[in-house]
Structure 1
Amino acid sequence: MTKTDFFRILIKVFGLYSLIVAVFTIFPAQLSFVLMDIGILAIILILGILAFIVFIFLFLIRKPDLIIKWLKLDKGFDNDEIDFKYLETSSIIKISALIIGGILLLDNIPIFLSNSYFAFKTDIARQGLSDQQYITWGTSFINIIIGYLLLANFEKINRWFKRKEEKNEG
């Protein structure tokens, strides 16, 4: 299996995972808040959320090569093939960084967007967010940054672990 094929499969699995999370958790939560004050803005918001979910899902499923190229996921490996029989520590570290970074992004982007919407909506209504909402909002933002950094710097992370391993052996 080539590394590009592996990342295609991984991105498509993330796409399915994000669809399941969006359909069963994010969308119902947004729907319950929107239905409290039904109006034209609420209907537009529901349609916007649905369109965003569908767009993200279709993008992840149909355009994994664009994501691979944009994040340069196929760079930094020693060879083109991924042979799972002889996985090295460095390959496991790279794959782990990519998986953890992807999960952090997929889990926290919807939370951050919904809390951003609530902050804007409550700001207009002259009410503030609760302390818990601010904490959730900040935590999701930090997790998005960490996820992006893991995806963008997986090769540097691998080199850092290699240096630590060589230092411990020597």
Structure 2
Amino acid sequence: MQIKTFWTILLKIIGLWTLLNCISIIPQFFTTLSFTNGNLNIESLLLIWSMLFSSIFIYLLIIRVFLFKTNWIIEKLKLENNFTEERIDLNLKSSTVLTIAIIIFGGIILVDSLPSFFSRLFDFFQQKSLLKDYNDTSWLIYYFFKIIIGYLLLTNGKKLTKYIEKES
């Protein structure tokens, strides 16, 4: 494996990790709105919306650069320079390493979100309230979707790898 291939794989793994972590912005936004207790004025609403959209824009920009413009990062940061050897001796294809990384991320996400989801679900059933009246509904939905994403990453690692390699 060449040095450039190693850096490409590492940067794409960082991009995938960022993609999966950016999903947490949405329930944080709704939690912020619930803390206003009905005393929301236009200035506060505009500030919250502008912060949300700027955060989403920054995340999407970072994800685009890390997943689809990895060669640009390698060139700008000069990551290939100052290595004494041209190759790293590994007999794995870059797609295989990327597939393994996607499957590991899926497992980590699934294992990370299951306890939180069941904890919030247990709390919801203890309160015996409607879903719309439950304070942490957005977090419950967030962890549910995170479980689904983790499962899909576990089962569709090769398809996602093919898509990433096709787009880059």
TM range (shorter): 0.3 to 0.5
Q: Which has the higher contact order (CA 8 A, sep 6+)?
A: 2
What's the TM-score once normalised by structure 1's chain length? 0.43
Query: When the two structures are superposed, what TM-score results if normalisation uses the length of structure 2?
Result: 0.44
